[in-house]
């Protein structure tokens, strides 16, 4: 324990809080100081904010009582060493990517929040996605005071359905406002059962269900399933991943054929491989 109220979270394998927060899966956590200790804070779902800090030795701390939810959120409740042991041993590209960013973890965000955020991410850079997320939170999300700061939870489907498409466009969403609004309306009305998608054990079936929502394509569906539903076999393919598969793996496949190859090659933890490769590609290619 480093201070009154802060406790250490056990962690199996390497973990980098900063790299995980900067890896393109989480967009709303803020640098924050708590009781003199630097770290990051953000809402987990529609609940109160959480705080996480990491010292130079790699030990991770949070507030007493928050150990379980913070550990689950950042994927600290499983062994990343075991995940990596399941990758193809002959894959030297992935081995190099892991060596470059060994501490990245796949987060487990609330599925609605994750899905909605990636609906707004189409053709946008990380900074723009973050700005849209923070604007939506401040205008339509529930406010929480924490440590002298104000944090906003992601708006519920009902809140965004009530807001209307025009109000969402005013948050700089552009054409993405329609998809977000229609998805919120479908889920808020009960016409679409998001919980059943999370419970569905078969990746292809879960993905097929998400693709029924307006504004949800293959990449968005796979991101939501990986980062929000805990389906580690999901492998999102964006321009960075397609570039690394073409340049370093010499793959010239397209669409579903490329998706199928990646899921088969990287195995049951393909999504973890995707995160290592994504961060590696953005920083080195």
172 in the same domain as 119: yes
pTM tops 0.75: yes
Identify any residues that bridge with 41 across adjacent strands, giving them in sequence order. 30, 51
Average pLDDT over residues 184-190: 98
137-150 residue pLDDT tens: 999 999 999 999 99
In this prediction, residue 126 carries a pLDDT of: 87
Answer with the one of 227, 252, 272 that is the final residue of a domain: 227
The answer to whether residues 6 and 53 touch, using CB atoms and an 8 Å cutoff, is yes
Please give the share of the chain, as a percent, with pLDDT higher than 70.
99
User: Same domain, yes or no, for 148 and 187?
Assistant: yes
Q: The domain containing residue 189 runs over which residues?
A: 111-227
Domain of 265: which CATH number?
A: 1.10.1670.10
Q: Are residues 218 and 265 in the same domain?
A: no
Q: What is the mean pLDDT of the chain?
A: 94
Q: Cα(68)–Cα(47) distance, rounded to whole angstroms?
A: 14
Same domain, 188 and 261: no
CB 43 within 8 A of CB 28: yes
The pLDDT, as a whole number, for residue 106 is 97
Does residue 238 belong to any structural domain of this protein? yes
Q: What pLDDT is recorded for position 160?
A: 98
Same structural domain, 144 and 206: yes
> Rounded to an integer, what distance in angstroms lies between the CA atom of residue 15 and that of residue 11?
8
Q: Are 156 and 118 part of one and the same domain?
A: yes
Tokens 């324990």 belong to residue: 1
- 272 lies in some domain: yes
How crowded is the C-beta side of 172, counted as CA atoms within 13 Å?
12
Residue 105 lies in a domain: no
Q: Is residue 2 over pLDDT 50?
A: no
- The answer to whether residues 222 and 234 belong to one domain is no
Q: How far apart are CA 74 and CA 225, in angstroms?
A: 16
pLDDT on residue 284: 86
Q: Is residue 135 domain-shared with residue 217, that is, in the same domain?
A: yes
List pLDDT tens digits, range 248-275: 999 999 988 999 999 999 999 999 999 9
On whether residue 106 sits in a domain, the answer given is no
Contact (CB, 8 A) for 75 and 18: no
Q: Is residue 33 part of a domain?
A: yes
- Residues 48 and 117 grouped into a single domain: no
Q: In 10 A of CB 17, how many CB atoms?
A: 20
With a cut of 50, say whether residue 226 has pLDDT above it: yes
Q: What share of the chain is helix, strand, coil (3-state, %, to 5)?
A: 50, 10, 35
> pLDDT above 90 covers what percent of the chain?
89
The residue to which tokens 């590609």 are assigned: 281
Checking if the pLDDT of 3 tops 60, the result is no
Residues 162 and 192 placed together within one structural domain of the fold = yes
| 250 phi-psi bin (left φ>0, alpha ψ -120 to 50, beta other) | left
* Number of domains the chain is built from: 3
Spatial CB neighbours of 199, under 8 Å, sequence gap ≥ 6: none
Residue 1 domain flag:
no
DSSP letters along 113-163, please? HHHHHHHTTTT--HHHHHHHHHHHHHHHSPEEEETTEEEEPPPPHHHHHHH
Q: CATH number for the domain including 138?
A: 1.10.340.30
Flag whether 260 is in a domain.
yes
C-alpha 25 chain-centroid distance: 3
What pLDDT shows up at residue 188? 98
Please say which residue of 196, 227, 258 terminates a domain: 227
Q: What is the CA angle 178-49-73, rounded to 5? A: 80
Strands 143-146 and 149-152: antiparallel
Residue where a domain terminates, one of 200, 227, 254: 227
User: How far are the Cα atoms of 96, 97, 205, 272, 282 from residue 248, in angstroms, in the given order?
Assistant: 11, 11, 30, 18, 14
Q: Over 60: is that where the pLDDT of 221 sits?
A: yes
Whether the per-residue pLDDT at 4 is higher than 70: the answer is: no
Is 54 within a domain? yes
- For residues 57 and 93, membership in a common domain is answered with no
pLDDT at 192 over 70: yes
What is the pLDDT averaged over residues 198-210?
Answer: 97
- The string of pLDDT tens digits covering residues 29-44 is 999 999 889 999 999 9
Whether residue 167 is found in the same domain as residue 194: yes
Split at pLDDT 50, 70, 90, the class of 187 is very high
Q: What is the pLDDT of residues 66-97, one digit of tens each?
A: 999 999 999 999 999 999 999 999 999 999 99
């Amino acid at each position: 324990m480093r201070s009154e109220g802060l406790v250490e979270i056990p962690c199996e394998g390497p973990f980098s809080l900063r790299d995980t927060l900067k890896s393109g899966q989480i967009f709303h956590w803020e640098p924050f100081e708590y009781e003199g200790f630097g770290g990051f804070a953000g809402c987990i779902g529609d609940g109160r904010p959480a705080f996480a800090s990491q010292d130079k030795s790699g030990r991770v701390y949070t507030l007493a009582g928050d150990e379980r939810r913070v550990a689950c959120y950042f994927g600290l409740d499983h062994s990343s060493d075991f995940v990596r042991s399941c990758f193809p041993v002959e894959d030297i590209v992935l081995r190099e990517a892991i060596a470059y960013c060994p501490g990245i973890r796949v987060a487990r965000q609330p599925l609605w929040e994750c899905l909605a955020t990636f609906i707004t991410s189409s053709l946008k850079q990380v900074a723009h996605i973050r700005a849209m997320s923070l604007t939506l939170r401040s205008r339509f999300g529930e406010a929480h005071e924490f440590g002298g700061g104000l944090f906003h939870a992601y708006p519920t489907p009902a809140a965004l359905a009530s807001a209307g498409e025009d109000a969402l466009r005013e948050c700089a969403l552009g054409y993405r406002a329609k998809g977000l609004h229609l998805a919120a309306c479908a889920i808020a009305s009960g016409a679409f059962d998001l919980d059943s998608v999370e419970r569905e054990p078969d990746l292809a079936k879960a993905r097929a269900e998400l693709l029924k929502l307006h504004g949800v394509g293959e990449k968005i569906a796979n991101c939501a399933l990986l980062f929000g539903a805990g389906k580690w076999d999901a492998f999102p393919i964006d321009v960075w991943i397609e570039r690394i598969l073409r340049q370093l793996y010499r793959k010239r496949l397209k669409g579903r054929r490329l998706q199928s190859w990646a899921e088969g090659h990287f195995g049951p933890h393909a999504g973890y491989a995707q995160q290592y490769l994504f961060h590696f590609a953005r920083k080195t290619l």
